[in-house]
Amino acid sequence: MKIIMLGAPGAGKGTQAKMISEKYGLPHVSTGDIFRANIKNGTALGMEAKQYMDKGLLVPDELTVKILLDRVAQDDCKNGYVLDGFPRTIPQAEVLEDALSKLGDKVDYAINVDVPDENIINRMSGRRACVTCGATYHIEYAAPQKEGICDKCGSELILRDDDKPETVKARLSVYHEQTQPLIDFYKSRNVLKEVDGTVSMQEVFDSIVAILG
Give me the residue spans of the domains in the chain: 2-115+172-212
Full DSSP string of 129-161: EETTT--EEETTTB--SBTTB-TTT--BEE--G
> Residues 152, 138, 147, 159: is their CA dihedral positive or negative?
positive
pLDDT score for 57: 79
Give me the phi and psi of 196, to 5 degrees please.
-75, 115
* Percentage, residues of the chain above pLDDT 70: 100
| Residue pair 114/194 in contact by the 8 Å Cβ criterion | yes
Nearest to 14 by CA among 97, 82, 93: 82
The residues assigned a catalytic role are 13, 88, 127, 160, 171
pLDDT score for 190: 97
Strand order in 136-138's β-sheet? 136-138, 127-130, 157-158
| Residue pair 212/109 in contact by the 8 Å Cβ criterion | yes
Q: How far apart are CA 135 and CA 84, in angstroms?
A: 22
Inter-CA distances, 39 with 42, 50, 69, Å: 5, 7, 16
Q: Mean pLDDT over residues 116-135, rounded?
A: 92
pLDDT score for 54: 85
Mean pLDDT (the chain) is 92
pLDDT score for 33: 85
The dotted CATH code for 2-115+172-212 is: 3.40.50.300
Q: Which amino acid is at 157?
A: L
Q: Is 85 left (phi over 0), alpha (psi -120 to 50) or beta?
A: left
List pLDDT tens digits, range 50-90: 998 888 777 888 888 888 988 988 999 989 999 998 898 89
Beta pairing class for 127-130 and 157-158: antiparallel
DSSP secondary-structure letter at 55?
Answer: T
Is residue 65 exposed (0-12), middle (13-18) or buried (19+ Cβ within 10 Å)?
buried
Q: Which amino acid is at 169?
A: K
pLDDT score for 75: 94
Per-residue pLDDT band at 171 (split at 50, 70, 90): confident
pLDDT score for 152: 95
Residue 146 pairs in a beta bridge with 149
pTM value is: 0.81
